[in-house]
């Protein structure tokens, strides 16, 4: 568990997610969808709680970090990774997602979560992290820049929401030795 004294002195804690966190994570996700941050603008795009539980267990059993941040014991954000691509050659590269509760934005929670996610992914032996960020998502682009993610691609018109086409920015960061050294023999078979 990671602790930090941001947010008016109250520690923001980070720990692996649990089954009982699923409803809180979905509530955070739904709110961001309704505000149009995600590509889905319909609630029908929101996963079912059981889907989230299964996905979370799957990710954890395969050593993919799936974290929540809490403040006063309440889940105020979450972050996780999935494989970037399923083919074995890409087993050292993950794609991440991060969400902070809408009432707790701008208080350092995203920073604490991202730091813990990067640390956990590096410790698990992954070497590259990739994210897809809406081109107009200033907060997310700012957060990624703060963690030395490089903007490596600009996908044009790949989303459609609120009646207009949306671009995505691909961000990438290496972990540990990145591509300067071969992977550990035993890692992530
Ligand atoms: C992106 C997101 C996770 C940031 O979380 P947060 O807790 O508000 O971010 P923090 O307060 O920890 O800020 C960390 C850094 O991010 C950047 N940042 C955060 N909000 C920003 C904003 N509105 N504008 C510009 N930069 C911003 C800053 O660099 C900030 O560092 P600083 O406070 O030292 O300046 C949050 O806005 C969110 O959940 N957005 C909706 C979901 C989403 O877009 N997820 C990412 C999908 S790719």
Query: How far, in Å, is the centroid of ligand 1 from the Cα of 139?
Result: 4
pLDDT digits (tens, 9 = 90+) for 11-49: 999 999 999 999 999 999 999 887 665 544 444 567 777
Residue 41's pLDDT is 47
Ligand 1 near 174 CB (within 6 A): no
Where are the chain's structural domains?
2-174
Ligand 1 near 136 CB (within 6 A): no
Mutation test residue for ligand 1: of 26, 41, 139, 161, the one with most atoms within 8 Å of CB: 139
Residue 65's pLDDT is 95
User: How many angstroms from the chain centroid is the CA of residue 130?
Assistant: 10
Does domain 2-174 sit in CATH 3.40.630.30?
A: yes
Average pLDDT along the chain = 88
For the CA of 106, the closest atom of ligand 1 is 11
**Reported confidence tier of residue 50, pLDDT bands at 50, 70, 90:** confident
């Amino acid at each position: 568990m990671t602790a930090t004294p941001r947010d008016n002195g109250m520690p923001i804690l980070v720990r692996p997610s649990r089954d009982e966190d699923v409803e809180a994570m979905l509530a955070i996700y739904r709110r961001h969808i309704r505000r149009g941050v995600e590509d889905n603008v319909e609630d029908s795009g929101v996963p079912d709680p059981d889907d989230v539980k299964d996905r979370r267990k799957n990710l954890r059993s395969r050593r993919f970090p799936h974290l929540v941040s809490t403040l006063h014991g309440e889940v105020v954000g979450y972050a996780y990774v999935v494989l970037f691509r399923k083919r074995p050659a890409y087993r050292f590269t993950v794609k991440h997602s991060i969400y902070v509760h809408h009432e707790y934005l701008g208080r350092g929670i995203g920073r604490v979560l991202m730091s813990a996610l990067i640390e956990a992914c590096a410790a698990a032996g992954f070497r590259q992290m990739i994210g897809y960020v809406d081109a107009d998502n200033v907060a997310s682009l700012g957060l990624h820049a703060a963690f030395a993610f490089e903007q490596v691609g600009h996908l044009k018109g790949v989303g459609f929401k609120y009646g207009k086409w949306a671009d995505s920015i691909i961000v990438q960061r290496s972990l540990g030795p990145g591509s300067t050294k071969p992977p550990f023999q035993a890692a992530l078979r």
